[in-house]
Chain A
């Protein structure tokens, strides 16, 4: 044997490929303050644009006077809807098939709505200009309660479409009604429910909240009138889609638009949509001939761009006396705000809410969702979840608890009794999805054993007894959750956004000396793509991850893709990366065979090289092959070593997990302490365990925030009462616990490397675990359902209403 070949394990380790906790390549610049976020950009002559925003939730605009503002030194322009109208840009299409005002056209429909755009020397002067714009409003009756939207005396919000009985998603029955979306068999479900031995019914509200990434939304638009090219740098989770949309609505040819996402300071769904700020910056740059920056402040961000959730889910669940679930029914009232700007695939106006049968084998189910207009901000984005999946998971995981109470069964046993069994995969759900793979009993048993579930229940019972004796004022809540996600949108046959199929892409070039660059259609916002996608590739093409540069986010160089949200990067772009790598390898095999003077089929892949079958000492490494591809004339083989793959996934992926939260609750103060949180995630093949763990920690903390306090709240006049970080709950290191993470590994059968995606699982599974813990603590006092967020005040009220302060 040739002793110069290092052992296989050593060569694999040198690649830092799949399964390695590779340190992140992004960190050197981020830790030194050398990231390049959009607000870091400075260009010669650059101006700053900012909005005059509506103080009212519903009002007619009688006049806008911009004279005083325009007379201020340093104010260059003030745009209103009247200025945008000749360009056809005073309204813009939304991702949900509706349209949205870019600048208020005759009326305002939510507090914080964009009314006029002031362009000035810098952000200070822009603010002076904003103060000087005089807007005269006539207040109109405000609609904040979606259940009052269709009453006779309800104000009509959208006068522009009031007489349209057909919307983008079918018939509308009222001017404030957007759509009805149905899934499943209504008649069969209602018949199962009416004959059920046991039926539980509950209204489950998942409140309005906001992704609130630490960096707000913003952009710099630069129209170069010399070469006719528009460049926009911005906080875009889907840069390619933004380019296409920008071209369609502006009329600028798509090849003359370049969209660049620089480093993004967190997205969580906030940066998927197209906002008036982007459009106005573009127009302002065209008008002024210089680059224009727009960066929203935190209040703008919380009030105007991209709320999440706000689903009122009326549920019914039926079972046999023994606890076998027979049917599930859900009617959701979805508060979409003033414009339907939900970020969902076109054919799914309520996203994938119909994954609401969860981890359970429920034979019959029905779901209907009614979208409603109110005087609130538009949005409806997937805040760290796939489209409406967190709502679905919260719904079913609450309904299971409610049913367990009705049955007098332990909720852990009820889950185990109804899980889809391992041998049922691929599993057809009653609401139309094909779950790819799962092993729920294994994950569940592992989780319950890890936390000593029986021991916890015994301790809880002892605590209750002590509470009854007046020895303590603290209760223990044990929050369970077994969630199933649906991510990786998605197959082009049923998933598109504005007609753009939701495939994704990867393009690889191998350099002569054996290093490489790969470009993807996605864009990292902290997920560490530059680290992990290089790992996928390292394992596929035998080039060390550290020798592979990853680039995303520049539409002039990256291949077309639909971007990063909904945990789609690994399932879709990750698959494209593996497939492009395999194309590289296929060509490398021909080159190696030629160099080794054997037939193509007589060489075999060996970690980082091709060797002659049966003669491993005769080989060509990828490095050698790369160089040969540039300097050898090989008959029938083009020079160079490049590949591109556009991957259309055959199915979604279905990550799952089992979470347990142990919470101490003080009934007198309503304060909570997370004593233990165990999170088992199964995201299929694990690419980088360190990054997976980091994603889980972060997602759980966002779940904690949502469940225990974070909300976008309105008063009855439509004023946002949680518009700053003083009121909008963001957990600090002080109230965030240490989490215990664990895993099982059930690969996706249809993904090239078996990976499923993980970024959003902890948010999807975490919210029910935290919320169920609160409910569980008060269960023995008669609590069945109490709406989130469970802040101290609301928990105190639960205790008070149950007579625990008497």
Chain B
């Protein structure tokens, strides 16, 4: 039934245009900006809609049924098959231009793929991927690839959680890990002959002294070699990921994970610290860290401002019944917060061309959500939003000023 329906929908191709319920309008924009806490004055001044609102204009209201919508049809079939819970996992939005007040928007969607059943961290489930294109008049103004996971919730505790591999801290290495906690990259330096050394040890191989001290490294260096790890699984990491051996500017080598586009040998990198470990990044500007508390007010007001009436975003009992800890942010709001984080940094004149995000751990009520970001090449910002439970969102935003 699942694969047959998927096949039928795929063959049906793109749906007829479906009109948004309201034209692009200032009240909805204001509500959205307020809920996101986005003070960017450019939208109201220029009578434009924030680009990350694109999906909002054609969201169904509470209880509206659109029988030909492929995502809704697949969701119903999967729900009937016992896959009762849903999370959005990926959203890649491209904005050809910003929408203007008063424009009437339509959307056409098609089913791209349905894959499953797959074992996921949440339980057995199916991934449903759709592609949507928005039009103003006859003009395509934005498109989106959107993926959800429909799954059977599993009671917590059934799966053995594999703990990430943690550093080995000894009296000889404690200074390094204390440095990581303090946001410093420390290199062992001999208290007698001043020779630098990594990895550290109790004695100086150069002069024999047992008087280890440390220097604080500049945190810059160049890639000496790197690997892209695919297999087997590494506890606490999602493959593929890159690990790089870096020649630090000070002259010693060090291993750490590398985050950013695939590097090349010789590329300049800069250290930052994440989850108690040093991590390499391309040596490019870094966005200031942004920390916000996901209050129930934030989660509910943004869900409603994005016209998402799924109960898990405003009804705690429903969220818990479906296996969650509490209500949690919806993907449209995460997209909006990612946009806000980047435009707060880039300034009101910046133009956002695309936002592609992947969701990980849900951001529940009362979680602290911490955004970090970095320019990885001109006009491309990579964003990570993390809660205490793990990475909530990773994303790439293309922006020009």
The answer to whether A and B belong to the same complex is: no
